[in-house]
Amino acid sequence: MSAFPTRNQANPDKDNSRSLRGPRWVMGRSPAESSLRRKTHAYSLWLGIAAGLVFSLSLWAYEAILFIGAHVAYPWIPLVVGTVLCVLVGASTALLTHLVNKAILGVVFWVLAAGLIAEIAITLPLKITPVLMKLFEPGLQSRLPVYPITDTFQTWAGIGTVWLAIFFAILGLLQLTLVEQAVPAGTSAGRLVPYFVFVPIMALASVMSSNLINSQLRAPLLATNELIQFAVDNQNVTVDPVLARRMHLSSVKTISDLINRPRRLFLGHYDPFYRQVEVLIDFDGEWVDCTTVTGQPVFCQPIANP
């Protein structure tokens, strides 16, 4: 037998303490700690999904309703694509904030998400939606123009980013604390507190984004449809001259024989400042180009087949 003590003989207490503790868990956590971490991980993911979903529905669902009423073509595309993109942004941002577990970095991540969503608000109607429309209806290839993202749109996106960043930074600052308190909460109300904070903030942020970006993009389309509907509703009726001028009723005289047909509205060409915008209208196969200035129709004329 060796005269030197073995490792177990030299440290009997240490060896016994190891045997009492049982098997080592991943990263040195107990089962309760691992379970809590998994729950926090899942909670953060679902909170981000809910945040992105609320933002999208508050923005593009409302716009889809307006577009359906205004006969704008393919009103569901921005809603579907915008929801997918916003959910991905919200989920990844909330999850990343949870994984780094630092509030200051959470603020940074959510501010970056604000800039990304502001860019989506511009890119979606001008780039993504036209591509999908042409994919679903190849005949639009010869009808719809290329929609450049001008400096005006970049300015809108920049202003939108600033406003969204204010709201999103609050989420980044509060997320870790709110989730940490909600996951082990013993009541349903306690577990829902982060949603009570995130949902109103995201809804308010979407309203700001709509006012700064989306409302300006859709104004020519809505105004043109309003004029055409007014003309349809007042056929064979003597309209007060003041009201007729205010509604720009003379703009549709050249297309009076088409206005009763089913119609679809598309965005047409626009100047770099988005002040003079053309709205293309498909009257059941007969196409019309209506020019708007600062959101008001001024002249409509039939256009030949390409």
- The domain spans of the chain are 27-302
- Position 108 scores a pLDDT of 96
Residue 251 near residue 100, CB atoms below 8 Å: no
Running along the chain, 306 residues long, what does each successive block of 10 average in pLDDT?
48 44 48 79 94 93 94 96 96 95 95 95 95 95 94 93 94 94 88 94 90 90 94 85 85 90 96 95 94 92 83
| Token couple for 47 | 């909170």
Reference 39, options 251, 239, 184, 213; nearest CA is 184
Gap between the Cα atoms of 282 and 143, Å rounded? 10
- Position 19 scores a pLDDT of 40
- Position 18 scores a pLDDT of 42
The residue with tokens 């009103």 is 75
Gap between the Cα atoms of 190 and 73, Å rounded? 44
- Position 28 scores a pLDDT of 52
Q: Which residues on adjacent β-strands are paired with residue 290?
A: 279, 300
The DSSP code sequence of 234-285 is TTTS---HHHHHHTTGGGGGGGTTTTTS--EEEEEEE-TTSSEEEEEEEETT
For the entire predicted model, the pTM comes to 0.83
